[in-house]
Amino acid sequence: MTTNSEDMLSLFEKFQKYVEEEQARREVIQESARELEQHIRQMMTILQGIHQDTGIKDSPKVINRAKELVGPSSKVYQKLSSGIPPKEYYKYHEIWRGITQKAVFCIALIEFLLSGKLASREQVAAELSLKIDQSEGFHLDLEDYLHGLLQLVSELSRLAVNSAACGDYQRPVAISQFVNELNAGFRLLNFKNDSLRKHYDCFKYDLKKIEEVVYDLSIRGLKSSETKSNVDASHTSNISDDSQMAS
């Protein structure tokens, strides 16, 4: 009996040691995640400046200030990566998932403002010092990347409205073209993830808002005849798509 009792105590002492080590590891990871969140929140706050009249007209300064925080964020990701045991990425993924989606959004917004193009998953991962292949360990999860792009669309719909209000009539058109192309890509995906599907539902409303801004500009004669023709065609196409979805 004594031997069995001692064996059981020894077993639970091992359990306790594991629990303590696990708790300590989580605290370290959460500390790094909080540091990362501070950088990302600051980046998002800076990027909100593009919605102001001065920010829309002088977006390069806003972009440069935001880009300065990408490097520090990358270093925190490196710290996180070094503290995660091999093959245990998804065990702790929930801790940094939302933060990473916001980081993707920030980098994608910066890339759009700079070039009008989409920041690829590879580009975002490289800037944050993350891997692409899951087998390599700490990587940029595909769903996190897609959620970040959906956040981008929501921000661009707001930017389209504010740009038009500030007299920048070209930007809403560029946003419309970009978002329509992005929508064509998302339509190829078969959403089995409920969270992604619900997020994509918001995409459709954001797209409609952007098209309404551009269509309003075209009928007010604020665009060239060629642009107006393209806008009318796009607006009609979206109405047709909505009708098909409804049916």
Going by C-alpha positions, the residue among 142, 110, 140 that lies closest to residue 128 is 140
Output the 3-class SS for the chain: CHHHHHHHHHHHHHHHHHHHHHHHHHHHHHHHHHHHHHHHHHHHHHHHHHHCHHHHHCHHHHHHHHHCCHHHHHHHHHHHHHHCCCCCHHHHHHHHHHHHHHHHHHHHHHHHHHHCCCCCHHHHHHHCCCECCHHHCCECCHHHHHHHHHHHHHHHHHHHHHHHHCCCCHHHHHHHHHHHHHHHHHCCCCCCCHHHHHHHHHHHHHHHHHHHHHHHHHHCCCCCHHHHHHHHHHHHHHHHHHHHHHC
Q: How far apart are CA 99 and CA 94, in angstroms?
A: 10
Spatial separation of the C-alpha atoms in residues 172 and 154, rounded to whole Å: 13
Residues belonging to the binding site for Mg(2+) are: 155
User: Where is the binding site, in residues?
Assistant: 155
Query: 131 forms bridges with which residues in the sheet?
Result: 139
